[in-house]
Structure 1
């Protein structure tokens, strides 16, 4: 059991270190030596857990993918209306991107040269989820007159993916304040008059962590 726990800690340290190196240097320039050094383990220990840099990248993306799924699951489970669930999820995602280098690196890896190792398409997954939630909003009748789920999803996906990419160099793009400004601008055009009055652009209490 002790040996298994030690192995799990080493693997976790390697994934964390790989995420930091990938986020800083990019996949192509990242070296296994840099990753093992940052993790505080030998190259041999790295290769025991991961056979290649591609395998490490896949592990980072898999962890980031799990986070995106975890954000989507409660947002799909009901509760507030669909638009509020969408607002809350964008705050959750941007908070994770801002605070968790593994999630940030997982998304950034997807913007590099294509890799043929079954890498997760995190932006594609996010796009699909946004589209489904906005279809729910359309079915609920809470979109503004003349606004379709397809049209709305283009705007929301483009903006949130843009915040994620711009946030790699300037973290204020992923801040709660930036998202609030975005939703305050978009919601009067997106939501029906009845829905608009009950929507909270800063996220509902308990749905998101406090950020600046």
Structure 2
């Protein structure tokens, strides 16, 4: 038998990692802290030893799952901003990491007229729909948003603190920028309706709570518009 090349070994490794992380997200969604490596192996259709080769314990596995999910946050949130704001084609969307809420790459939503995914309603509804639909496809991102609201307390402190910092920078901060750029959902609402950062926390808390049951049922994508309409 011809030995595998280095590139083939790397492909196999990437495939195994992808299987393990996807399975871990599905298992944690159902079992939470009761998740064990053996559960992940069974869900992934891999041997226990194969999963253990990559992850010696469930906390390291959960840490990597959260870290990789948050690395996808910028692309997901930018897509959500475009869905909510519907900026004109060709509008500039660029900003450095120090952009203020309501400015930079998400700020084009400011010029948008209120429109939700079903054609009516405030732009916050379209944003909520987009997030819910993203979670329906990416369970790990849902878990990152849910556990981020809890400061990743299920993990050891040495892992939780840097994850919480990444969550603030990669999820809360851009989401606050989107919310700061959108027109008010209710023009009659009090002007002191919360800072964008605090509203970002409220939005994620409300959405993750509403999403859990339909996510477990596998119906979140179908129910996303109804959930968003209920909240907005």
* Category of TM-score, reference length = shorter chain: 0.5 to 0.7
Deviation at 1:31, TM superposition (A): 0.9
What is the distance in 1 between the residues matched to 2:159 and 2:192? 33
Look up the match of 1:118.
159
**Is the 8 Å Cα contact of residues 57 and 109 (structure 1) preserved in structure 2?**
no
Indicate which of 102, 108, 114 corresponds to 1:79: 108
Look up the match of 1:20.
26
Q: Is 1:167 the equivalent of 2:211?
A: yes
Deviation at 1:56, TM superposition (A): 0.7
Query: Which blocks of at least 5 consecutive residues in structure 2 are unaligned?
Result: 1-6, 82-104, 115-122
Counterparts of 1:129-148 in structure 2 under 5 Å?
129-136=174-181, 144=187, 147-148=191-192
TM-score w.r.t. the length of structure 2 is 0.61
Deviation at 1:90, TM superposition (A): 2.9
**Is the 8 Å Cα contact of residues 23 and 108 (structure 1) preserved in structure 2?**
no
What is the distance in 1 between the residues matched to 2:134 and 2:61? 20
- CA-based RMSD: 3.4
Rate the CA distance shift 1:10–1:142 in 2: closer, same or farther, 3 A.
Answer: closer
**Is the 8 Å Cα contact of residues 27 and 40 (structure 2) preserved in structure 1?**
yes
Look up the match of 1:4.
10
Deviation at 1:104, TM superposition (A): 2.5
**Is the 8 Å Cα contact of residues 19 and 102 (structure 1) preserved in structure 2?**
yes
**Is the 8 Å Cα contact of residues 68 and 93 (structure 1) preserved in structure 2?**
no
Which piece of structure 1 moves more, 129-138 or 96-105? 129-138
Which piece of structure 1 moves more, 156-165 or 8-17? 156-165
Indicate which of 34, 39, 46 corresponds to 1:34: 39
Secondary structure of 1:168's partner?
helix
What is the distance in 1 between the residues matched to 2:47 and 2:145? 27
Which piece of structure 1 moves more, 149-158 or 34-43? 149-158
Query: Which blocks of at least 5 consecutive residues in structure 1 are unaligned?
Result: 184-212
TM-score w.r.t. the length of structure 1 is 0.66
